[in-house]
Structure 1
Amino acid sequence: MTRDDALHPSDAPDSELPMLTVAQAAGLRELAAPYARDGLRHSLGNLAHRCRQAPQAHWPDLVAAHFAALADGGHGDESVEELLRGVHVRLLPRESFTPEMAAVMRYARVVADGLVLAYALDRPASVRILTDRDVERAGLRELGRAAYANLMRVPVECAEVPGGGGARLYSVYGDSHFVAAKALYLPEVARQVGGEPLPAAGALVVVPGRHNLVYHPITDGSVVDALNSLASYALGAYDDGPGALSPRVYWWHDGGLTSLTVIDEATRTFSLRPPPPLLALMKGLDRLDHAGRLAGRAATGAPDLDALTRATAESVRRLDRDPAGLGEAFGSALALAHAHCADDPDGAWIDTWHAWATAVQLGSALFCGAQPQECELGEDLVMRLPETQADPPADARAWLDALYLALVCRQTERVGLLCRVPLERLREDDSVDEYVLAWVDTLHTYLSRRGSMDDVVGKLLDTMRTSVPEHLTHAPKDFVNRVDYQPIALFHRLVAGDRDAFAQTLAEALSEHGGYWGDSAAPRARVALGPLAMASIAYDRGFPIDARQPYLPAYLLNRERIETIPDAGAPS
């Protein structure tokens, strides 16, 4: 038996006014009945919220004050100039939009699940929802323009509030009844309150009440935590009322709001169901963020090199008893290799080399398996990598990292082993866009020499075609354009044999890398790994490349720091 099953029917939540019991709602309707004018039935939602918070003996006074305020709102005798001067866009909860209201507000429209856009006149002591008669007098287009302009002038304050997992949430609030309606124009609001445009992926937003909205720009993997935080906040703030609007979480994108909340009206239960495009984006951002690839929350502080070294060493030591930790160990070693280049940008020091060599060993072992071998992270820090069986994960980007490392460190045998990893396995990665898998296929074909040059060019063209913005579903466009696409552009010049164009494209790639990461202290900000790998191939083929360029460790590029790494070896 559920809790509601045990309630007396009159004590159960009312179906239309769930903040009250059936008995309380019946009493409120009885008090409100004498105030109905011309048969027009008003929504009692906001009034019910006020009554819930007051003793029932005070309800008659609250009801009288509520309808007095409605009566003071005017009767439509304002001039056109007064209408245009005071009209604002306003959001109304869908459940409050009664059939009687709909009959006299045909201009109003549903803009998202649970939300209706209407126009309201802001008067000194009250707010009046406009009717079709008002719209006809002022003109729908003129009224809409004035309502938008007046709404955007409504003063608000903005505060960043903490969300779960470090997600950034921005609360926009004010005294006006119209603040929540600004969610319909979220890009402009974001510029006004934060000085920055919304990302191409849009934002998550909630409008629990008319006086505020809270949004999260979708930039990194914290979107998963933000979704849960916003859902919890929206439910709590909506129940607090009055002025309640919606308990839903919405996705603002492509100029509109899409509800992510599904409400079972029979049981009044809530669930979150992002549509497939947003689910794909969330999965891609989460994987990118946890790998430290995005200039987001993972880039907030400089890594502690000693701590990262100890963590990498310990992750290798644990492999004897926990072989499943190899992927984590590779990620840690890769971050360490990049981080060393903060203090050693040329890659001249032996400790830097040890970190890069260890990353090479772990990346190769992750995808191809390996015989037992030693990994060094300093003279006093030598770990034994146990025998590893080949069990490649469905992680296309990690495979690219392992390949780039092997190319930079001139590990021809490991490059060959990585190119034997079945493409079918890497294609199981559903967290990446199509162009990533096409790029893997291109390099796989080219470096294994299993296809003709025509095959390579065809696959390269597929990679370039699928990397354009309209094909992207998983990764931010800025990241793709400025980071992920750069080695592809360089490879194009490489296979064409155009040395001058390669040098120019390399300079552009490094500039884009620097522009993307800015002053971030994230490990990946230190080295442009993909361009470095392509430049290493070109350097070995006699392309005239200036080794003294930012984000390219010179002593890795020109091979002066390259030393022996234990053979990969096939596991027994």
Structure 2
Amino acid sequence: MGIFRKKSPLPETPDSHLTFFTASSANNFRTITREVFAEMGLEVVMHPGHAVDDSEREFGLWNVAAACHDQPPYAWRGAIREHLQRVLTSFDAPDPFDSLTPTDVPRQTFARLYEEASMPGIDGYPHREFAPGIVEMLALDLPDTVTVFSHNNANKFGGFEALRTRGMANLRRLEVEQLETLPMQGGGSFTALLGDSVYTASRALLLPGLASELSGKRVREEFGWLMSVPNRHQVVWHIIEDATVVGAVNGMARFAAMGYSDSLTPLSPHVFWWDGTSYEQLTQVSDDGGLAIRVSPAFQAVLESITADR
């Protein structure tokens, strides 16, 4: 299995929290953001992924950093100021949950995946780990935006589990936008579901049923499947059947790294394997910035079993 020792270089080593920036660019962004806060009369304590003012209000940095990502640094100050003005205005806006009925909310609720590092103050919201670095939360779909359920709002409208059941059902009703099978050199392939919906990647929550439904393939529980969600518009999988998994995992690693680094809405650059009870991370960023594939004893046992079946 020497192929697993190959590395796919990432375009750049990302900042640990604002992952579409390098560490130096992210620090520059944080410095400018703090200065803009001060210009607006707010003293804040800067954290890697958010800022906190004297009133204990948290300001997430992810969205404004994403907006600045494709702009030259000289334009960041204006973009940050405009964003913060909108956020401050929204603090005084009515809570959208107050204008909805118990009938409206379930129809507009979706289970949705988020990169854990992009969610400051995550303990204030009901969530569960989906895969390492990725969390599942409850999202309320509104005409112009999406808002996340707090614990209070989730309890008000039936609780996390009941809302999640409706959120999963709403995911299942979404149309399949673009489905592609990507063959790998030397054999093997993986499947990519792509779309403009903000919930496309969240359909990873429907695996393996979604994969079986779209491909007609039965999942062998003793082997599991591979999954990646590079950004919110992509979910990728491979049902493990034979030794072509070797080409699939390498191809998916490259696809995920590119889809993650090139997106303003990244989720994870990694490939995961369902081990029967949870997702195990197969890829990791090495010291030189490359993406290495890590074969755990459990995954190695699957590879050996596949080889023995041949």
From the superposition, tell whether residues 148 and 14 of structure 1 become closer, same or farther in structure 2 (CA, over 3 Å): closer
2:301 maps to 280
CA distance in 1, matches of 2:273, 2:94: 34
**In terms of Rg, which structure is larger?**
1
From the superposition, tell whether residues 242 and 282 of structure 1 become closer, same or farther in structure 2 (CA, over 3 Å): same
The amino acid across from 1:26 in the alignment is T
- Is residue 143 of structure 1 aligned with residue 144 of structure 2? no
- Is residue 125 of structure 1 aligned with residue 130 of structure 2? no
- Is residue 190 of structure 1 aligned with residue 211 of structure 2? yes
CA distance in 2, matches of 1:67, 1:155: 36
Deviations for 1:192-227, whole angstroms, at most 9, x for unmatched residues?
Answer: 322333333221111010111111111111111111
Q: How big is the shift at 1:59? A: 3.1
CA distance in 1, matches of 2:175, 2:29: 37
Higher strand share: 2
CA distance in 2, matches of 1:186, 1:180: 11
- Greater relative contact order (Cα < 8 A, sep 6+): 2
C-alpha contact 1:184 1:257 (8 A) present in aligned 2: no
Aligned length in residues: 274
The amino acid across from 1:137 in the alignment is K
- The SS at the match of 2:208 is helix
Q: Which residue, 260, 271, 278 being the options, matches 1:256?
A: 278
1:94 maps to 116
Percent sequence identity over aligned pairs: 28
Paired residues for 1:71-470 under 5 Å: 71=90, 74-77=95-98, 78-98=100-120, 100-102=121-123, 104-105=124-125, 107-140=126-159, 141-156=161-176, 157-200=178-221, 201-254=223-276, 256-263=278-285, 270-286=291-307, 288=309, 293=310
> What CA RMSD, in Å, does the superposition of the two structures yield over aligned residues?
3.0
From the superposition, tell whether residues 30 and 172 of structure 1 become closer, same or farther in structure 2 (CA, over 3 Å): farther
CA distance in 2, matches of 1:13, 1:111: 22
- The SS at the match of 2:103 is helix
The amino acid across from 1:125 in the alignment is D
Q: Which residue, 66, 76, 81 being the options, matches 1:49?
A: 66
C-alpha contact 1:155 1:174 (8 A) present in aligned 2: no
Higher helix share: 1
Q: How big is the shift at 1:257? A: 1.8
TM-score, with length taken from structure 2: 0.77
Paired residues for 1:29-68 under 5 Å: 30-31=35-36, 39-60=56-77, 62-63=79-80, 64=82, 68=86
CA distance in 2, matches of 1:207, 1:82: 29
TM-score, with length taken from structure 1: 0.44
From the superposition, tell whether residues 74 and 269 of structure 1 become closer, same or farther in structure 2 (CA, over 3 Å): farther
From the superposition, tell whether residues 209 and 125 of structure 1 become closer, same or farther in structure 2 (CA, over 3 Å): same
Unaligned runs of at least 5 residues, structure 1: 1-11, 294-572
CA distance in 2, matches of 1:226, 1:170: 10
Q: How big is the shift at 1:123? A: 1.0
CA distance in 2, matches of 1:96, 1:154: 25
